Amino acid sequence: MRQFIVDAFTEKIFCGNPAAVCVVEDFPPDDLMLAIARENNLSETAFAVKTGASYRLRWFTPSTEIDFCGHATLATAFVILTQLEKDLSAVEFDTLSGKFSVVRKGQLFEMNFPAYELKKIPVTDEMQAVVGAKVLEAYLARDLLMILESAEAVEQLKPDFDKLSKLNGLIQAVTAADDKFDCVSRVFAPKIKIPEDPVTGSTHCLIAPYWSKRLGKQMITARQASARGGVLYCEVLGERVKVSGSAALFAVADLKV
252: Cβ–Cβ under 8 A, 6 or more apart, which residues? 2, 3, 4, 5
Who contacts 51 (Cβ-Cβ below 8 Å, separation ≥6)?
A: 94
19-22 long-range Cβ contacts below 8 angstroms, 24+ apart: 19/43, 19/44, 19/45, 19/46, 19/69, 19/71, 19/72, 19/74, 19/75, 19/76, 20/44, 20/45, 20/46, 21/45, 21/46, 21/48, 21/72, 21/75, 21/76, 21/79, 22/46, 22/47, 22/48, 22/255
The DSSP secondary structure of 184-235, one letter per residue, reads EEEEEEGGGTEEEES--TTTHHHHHHHHHHHHT-SEEEEEE-SSS-EEEEEE
Q: Cα(199)–Cα(194) distance, rounded to whole angstroms?
A: 12
Segment 115-134, tens digit of pLDDT: 999 899 999 999 998 888 89
Is 44 catalytic? The answer is yes
d(CA 246, CA 18): 12
Q: Which domains does the chain have, with CATH numbers?
A: 2-112+243-254 (3.10.310.10), 120-238 (3.10.310.10)
Which spans in the chain are helix H? 30-40, 70-79, 125-131, 151-155, 161-164, 204-215
Q: CA neighbours within 13 Å on the CB side: how many for 147?
A: 18
Q: Could you say which DSSP state residue 118 is in?
A: -
The single residue of 11, 44, 152, 239 carrying the catalytic annotation is 44
SS3 2: strand
- pLDDT tens per residue, range 131-177: 888 999 999 999 999 999 999 999 999 988 999 999 999 999 999 99
* Coil, helix or strand at residue 113: strand
Phi, psi of 169 (to 5 degrees): 95, 145
Give the max Cα distance, the chain: 54
> Would you give per-residue pLDDT tens digits along the chain (257 residues)?
999 999 999 999 999 999 999 999 999 999 999 999 999 999 999 999 999 999 999 999 999 999 999 999 999 999 999 999 999 999 999 999 999 899 999 999 999 999 999 899 999 999 998 888 899 999 999 999 999 999 999 999 998 899 999 999 999 999 999 999 999 999 999 998 889 999 999 999 999 999 999 999 999 999 999 999 999 999 999 999 999 999 999 999 999 98
CB 98 within 8 A of CB 114: yes
Decide: helix, strand or coil at residue 120. Answer: strand
Specify the pTM.
0.88
